[in-house]
Amino acid sequence: MGVPELAGVVMPYVTAVAGAYGGAVVQRVVDQSADATADAGLGVGRRLLRRLLGSGRSAQIGQAVTEVGEQPDDETGRELLRALVMKALSEDTGLATDVARVLADAGVPGAVTVIGSQGVQVGSHNTQTNHFGLSPDGGR
C-alpha cells in the first residue's frame, strides 16, 4: 500500500480520536491508561496517533490534530493534518511499516488497486467474488 492510500486509511481513525477528545486530544492519547476505556475504533486511532506523535513531525502533527479536535468541521485543518501524516509516512519507512502493522493487527482492511474494472463496490463489510478465465461450462 502506498503512502497516500495508507494516509487515507489512517485519517478516519485519527480524526475520530480528535473529534472524541477535542482540544485535549494529544494529552489523552499519550495517557496510556485511557486505552482501557476507549472503544475499538478509538483504540486503533489512539495507537495510530501515538505512533505518529513519536515521529519526526510530532510537533506539527500534534498541533494539527489539536486544531482538528477543536474545530472538527474545518476541512482545511483536516487536509493539513492529512498532508502532515503523508509527509511523516513518506519520510520514515519504519513509521509507515509500524502504522500498517497497527492497522493489520486491528483487522482494518487495506487499499485495493483495481485495473480495468467494470464495476464499483461501495460500503464496508461487503463481499465480492470475482471469477477470471474460463467459466465452469468452458465458456468465457
Q: pTM for the whole thing? A: 0.69
Nearest-5° Cα angle at 97, 86 to 15? 45
Check whether 128 has a pLDDT greater than 70. Answer: no
Q: Concatenated DSSP letters for 57-82? A: THHHHHHHHHHHHH-TT-HHHHHHHH
Q: Which helix (H) or strand (E) holds 87?
A: helix 75-91
Q: What is the pLDDT of residues 6-46, one digit of tens each?
A: 888 899 888 888 888 887 778 777 665 555 555 666 888 88
Q: Where are the chain's structural domains?
A: 3-105
Q: What is the pLDDT of residues 50-60, one digit of tens each?
A: 999 999 999 99
Q: Which of 33, 62, 54 is nearest to 102 (CA)?
A: 54
Residue with the larger pLDDT of the pair 137 and 22 = 22
Mean pLDDT of all residues in 76-93: 94
What is the rounded CA–CA span in Å between residue 135 and residue 63? 55
